[in-house]
Amino acid sequence: MSRLLFRLIIGAAFGLFGLLSYFTSTTENPVTGETQRVKLTPEEEIALGRQARDELLAQGGGLHPDQVLQDYIDQVGAEVVQDSDAAQSPYPFEFHLMQDPETVNAFALPGGQIFITTALLDRLDAESQLAGVLGHEVAHVVARHGAEHLAKQQLGAFLVNAVVLGTSDNPQDSRQAAILAQAIQQLVNLQYGRQDELESDRLGIDFMTDAGYNPEGLVELMQVLKEAGGGAAPPEFFSTHPNPDNRIERIESIIEDQYPGGIPPQLDDGEADFQRVVGSRL
């Protein structure tokens, strides 16, 4: 057997193992009802998120020193979780106000670690907008988008290694093949990320309205983020959260479908409470 043929067989076997491992690792999400391909257990997601928490906080300047603001973030976050279907998830959610005054962003780690920067909070003017931010990030966790992404990354790593093993002995050729395989994997993840955002918008609306917040707060949030770009570079939020041109229209369409007769008056924007707590401190 030639050396090249042997390498091709080993590479193919390595890739096949990765594919089988990915496509046979399925579980049903108790909140969304979806069948998902994930390899991490919820307990492993929680541990992973906690391990990465301190590093991310350090990158964002640490926690904001104002405990009143942190307590307020905790309060709104707890309402979004406890008063909605998100409470059915196994994750102990923790909300963190990062001191970063420049980066307009919010994000979530697997297992329930939620972050919002001071720069983003400072641009909001209603509690419903804050609930929209937190509800959207809670949705990422509940929908296990991080775990799905990690499973795809692992599959990508298997495929990259398979390509490298199956190519010629020339190191330069191997590196080029690896780069190509990684580029393909990134394109797959980009499409997948856009689907995540649509699902998180939809679930986030459910979570915030179940907690008594006006869903228009999420629309207003997107408008705030758009204005924060100022015609220059977009806010960091849109770097980690793909923002198609019709994002606001899609959210408004979801709201209209859920409330064809108009938004119920009991769903509040919480502007007075927000200004009372946040307006005097930022």
- At a CB cut-off of 8 Å and minimum separation 6, what does 54 contact? none
- Which residue type occupies 63? L
The encoded tokens of residue 57 equal: 């906080």
Domain spans of the chain, in order of start:
3-279
Sign of CA dihedral 33, 197, 201, 111: positive
pLDDT tens track, the chain, 282 positions = 555 444 444 444 444 444 444 445 568 877 777 877 677 788 988 988 888 888 888 888 999 999 999 999 999 999 999 999 999 999 999 999 999 999 898 988 889 999 999 999 999 999 999 999 999 999 999 999 887 877 666 544 443 444 444 444 554 444 444 544 443 343 333 343 677 888 999 999 999 999 999 999 999 998 888 887 665 555 555 555 555 457 888 999 999 999 999 999 999 999 999 999 998 888
pLDDT of residue 62: 94
